[in-house]
A and B are shown apart, each in its own frame.
Chain A
């Protein structure tokens, strides 16, 4: 039972991670699912539905088709819809039933692609992982398939990788990030994936450096590194920490080496100060508050972002144990019930954790007054 969740919720799933990452890119995403709790993306996990349309579908897998392994309905429906809607690409997303059935998505993609002449690919999800691997794999696939070989690099230009409302939910966050980076003298080449089209993303190979602002962007950064040699920096430019991030970006451009300013920065574990959540943003929040502390990372595929001050935490019980001497915790409000008595909680709602519960008080990480936040935290 020690990895189960009794009190706090679990994070948004991999399926929603894929959809969130691809929402604005003009593709068509089909979740192969009976319209159960793995396709909540279409009803719960996306706040952009209010203002935007996107071609995200649920296949409506029927029990009998699952039993017989009948993939024809999925193929025909997808081909039909695609021929009517002309998406830029088609993405198939897996869920527990077809996963356990061993449905061959690669083969199905091949058939759909040959019938529609639209690039079709599969993102291997199964509904049993969190949004980081889902969104990460989706952005990485875009980096593999759609980014063209550049003629040259544009000095001072940067791609922002790993931007979706799951980690940056407050309205205007993506714009603020863009402004912050441009104010520092960089030109933002593209933002993966809010506010830019697939066409814009396809020129990302020209950027001199990639800025990975959340773990969702890391796999794409690795692909771009491998394909074009572009170095990346893992850090979110928040408050006073921005200067460090920008310095790392310059160093990355000069040396060609990837930079992990967070791993260098935090080096005190017993301060009683904790931040919980996505490790790049939360590490950057702590750094911006200029507080020593430990980041607890409950998310998958973050191994390369961990060190002695950024610890993986699996399940509620482990989180409770690790937090037992906590004095100050910066986290989503829904973490409150597992904090020790007397610990102070600085609330930073996280959409991938509490969904729309705190939509009204959702903070734009790029405009927070981190000095004030530090004072709030002062013991």
Chain B
């Protein structure tokens, strides 16, 4: 079982990219589980075709007995969808919530029951506190991929995440798998992201074009791979999947 976590600045395109990646893996015959680690609980929307999914923390909050099936929705191409969820906005502790949600998943035997070949953690924004580092901790992801564009803010956030990984070196955490460039078509985009990756002795494993098809697919409530399977954008996501598998085999 491969476990991969995806980090990056808020709004950079993590959920979109991870969902398309999930489909690309599934197309290759792999059993995929995608876990949204974000209080917004919107990571797997495009995989569920609008079907509702109660987040793990909403189940916990209801204080009623529940079982594994309640935490999960089987989506497009049998992808196992999970949303961690979070506390009521403006209260509680979202980071602690992620820990509780991931603990619950493990305690309920999610990994053993669904036996995924690949688990994808789609993790919110920056690593703002201990809770958001949970998916990169021992026993969770083996590799972390960081999404960024050439925008300064995105690069800054990406550098912070890479730095966190470096600081945790002696803790047996996930390793940095590489950077994924999700283009915003800003000036010197390639060079800036390349420089970032070199700063961390890593590499840019794939570049995704900025494409209207992404928003078109989003409007349809689908991934690009489902809505426009023959498009160049779909191909770009498939290439990313191939790159991730290659990377992962190397490490």
| CB <8 Å contact, B96 and A100 | yes
| CB <8 Å contact, B171 and A110 | yes
Q: A69-B129, A100-B93, A102-B129 are in contact. Are A107 and B172 (CB under 8 A)?
A: yes
| CB <8 Å contact, A104 and B137 | yes
Q: Mark B86-98, 1 if CB is under 8 A from A, else 0.
A: 0000000101100
A101 at the interface (CB under 8 A from B): yes
B109 at the interface (CB under 8 A from A): no
Q: A100-B93, A100-B96 are in contact. Are A107 and B130 (CB under 8 A)?
A: no
Which residues of chain A in 306-348 are interfacial with respect to chain B, using CB atoms and an 8 Å cutoff? Answer: none
| CB <8 Å contact, B173 and A101 | no
Chain B minimum-CB-distance residue to A124: B103
B200 at the interface (CB under 8 A from A): no
Which residues of chain A in 102-125 are interfacial with respect to chain B, using CB atoms and an 8 Å cutoff? Answer: 102-104, 106-108, 110-111, 114
Complex Cα spacing A110 to B131, Å: 19
Complex Cα spacing A340 to B168, Å: 58
B139 at the interface (CB under 8 A from A): yes
Complex Cα spacing A107 to B168, Å: 9
- Chain A: interface residue total (CB-CB under 8 A): 12
Which residues of chain B in 124-145 are interfacial with respect to chain A, using CB atoms and an 8 Å cutoff? Answer: 129-131, 133-134, 137-139
Q: How far is the CB of A186 from chain B (nearest CB, A)?
A: 37
| CB <8 Å contact, A110 and B129 | no
Q: Mark A117-151, 1 if CB is under 8 A from B, else 0.
A: 00000000000000000000000000000000000
Set B95, B99, B131, B137: member contacting A107, Cβ < 8 A: B137
B93 contacts across to A, CB distance below 8 A: 100
Complex Cα spacing A108 to B172, Å: 10
Residue among A100, A101, A102, A106 facing the most chain B CB atoms (10 A cut-off): A102
Q: How far is the CB of B174 from chain A (nearest CB, A)?
A: 12
A103 contacts across to B, CB distance below 8 A: 130
A107 contacts across to B, CB distance below 8 A: 137-138, 168, 171-173
Q: How far is the CB of B65 from chain A (nearest CB, A)?
A: 12
Q: A102-B99, A104-B171 are in contact. Are A69 and B130 (CB under 8 A)?
A: yes
| CB <8 Å contact, A102 and B138 | no
B170 at the interface (CB under 8 A from A): yes
| CB <8 Å contact, B138 and A110 | yes
Set B95, B130, B137, B168: member contacting A106, Cβ < 8 A: B137
Complex Cα spacing A111 to B173, Å: 12
The 3 A-B residue pairs whose C-beta atoms are closest, nearest first, are A107-B171, A102-B130, A102-B131
Cross-chain pairs A/B with CB under 8 angstroms, 13 sampled: A69-B130, A102-B99, A102-B131, A103-B130, A104-B133, A104-B171, A106-B137, A106-B139, A107-B137, A107-B168, A107-B173, A108-B171, A110-B171
